[in-house]
Chain A
């Protein structure tokens, strides 16, 4: 099982590849240096990352995972962009329609 910080690291490394900075991984996940090193080690043990002479690489398993989740071509900019929830629909509601608030419970 992959947690959200591990997922962010995978997406970051997939986007930046050999241009990654350890300082950015720290900042991205609000890690201390030792937390980050432990996390990276854990991901190597899970075979999600490979340490090739100090160079971090995504493994085939990690790439497959991102592809399966539809996140292989996702960039950090897309993840950090503002949420737009207003969408135009083909059939707008009229004043006669009953309005039911989101997550309405009785």
Chain B
């Protein structure tokens, strides 16, 4: 493949991605970003080809698309499921590994759909008696991978969730995770429906993205990810081998193949993960007024 042709192909792939995703600060100049990303592989054409095929199927959710989906979810709750507002509460699925992303997702959902804080609860803090007044619990999450975290959460709250109807709304879910959870709910007599925007499969599943040599390709990428981590990691090919290719406007979930979000000197991801909290979440605000005056000329 000549360099000129390769460049054209990268531009074509980038254009089709922007058509699907829309353009924002993360996807601006995507062609250049994609070109730089694959150029890190040097002459390794096999891996370059694997990455380009993966990008063609990659799902990026901009601020606008998440807003739209959160409105659609609420519309479904009210118009299709017809759940009574006064007997329905909203909760996130507790997961210590991603406290902020689940919290943010539920918070944005409540703000966009004007849901009062009175209807959102941490169900672990509610007593069993509180459940006499609750008919439905809506759980919200951005992405569900293997489903093991959800199972762990339900097991901790088994007595409570058995008393109500549960609905899990998520934007992305792994097919295997969905089957695993539906089986778990049935065996444990939990009434729970999973409602999602997109069901994805592990990228190296047979005949999914790659029609031939999927195992060999999986091995090639696993070796690359092992090399960039330089040590054993749970994140090789995504957390617990989730093999997702998903990014949300604020962050990339760790279920995504780590070569897309790992970002250090030896490798720069296409959609780097950002674990840093904004300054106002970790520091006191007494200094803001002084610093504004000092930084700018606002006092003049």
Contact = CB atoms under 8 A, between A and B. Distances in A.
Interface stretch (A25-33, A42-50, A98-106): A25-33
A33 B114 contact: yes
Contact of A71 (B68, B290, B295): B295
B81 interface: no
Interface string B255-282: 0000000000000000000000011110
A11 B110 CA distance: 24
Interface in A67-106: 69-71, 74-83
A16 B63 CA distance: 12
B245 to A, nearest CB: 20
A18 B63 contact: yes
A60 to B, nearest CB: 17
A21 B297 CA distance: 28
Nearest to B281: A27
A18 B295 contact: no
A23 B108 contact: yes
A33 B68 CA distance: 19
A18 B62 contact: yes
B295 A74 contact: yes
Nearest to A34: B114
Contact of B288 (A16, A36, A80): A80
A70 B296 contact: yes
B112 interface: yes
Nearest to B283: A80
B24 interface: yes
Interface string B55-96: 000000011100110000000000000000000000000000
Contacts, number: 96
B107 interface: yes
A70 B287 contact: no
Contacts of B104: 21, 23
A97 B289 CA distance: 32
A74 B25 CA distance: 18
Given A18-B62, A33-B111, A70 B295 contact: yes
Given A18-B25, A21-B250, A23-B104, A8 B288 contact: yes
A48 B289 CA distance: 21
Contacts of A79: 279, 287-288, 291-292, 295
A15 B164 CA distance: 43
Contacts of B64: 53-55
Contacts of B291: 78-81, 83
A78 B249 contact: no
A23 B295 contact: no
Interface in A1-40: 4, 7-8, 16-24, 26-28, 33, 36
Interface of A: 4, 7-8, 16-24, 26-28, 33, 36, 53-55, 69-71, 74-83
24 contacts: A17-B24, A17-B25, A19-B25, A19-B250, A21-B108, A22-B111, A24-B280, A28-B280, A33-B110, A55-B24, A55-B64, A69-B297, A70-B295, A71-B295, A74-B292, A76-B278, A76-B279, A79-B292, A80-B279, A80-B280, A80-B287, A81-B283, A82-B287, A83-B290
Given A4-B289, A55-B64, 6 more contacts: A17-B24, A22-B107, A27-B281, A36-B111, A80-B288, A82-B287
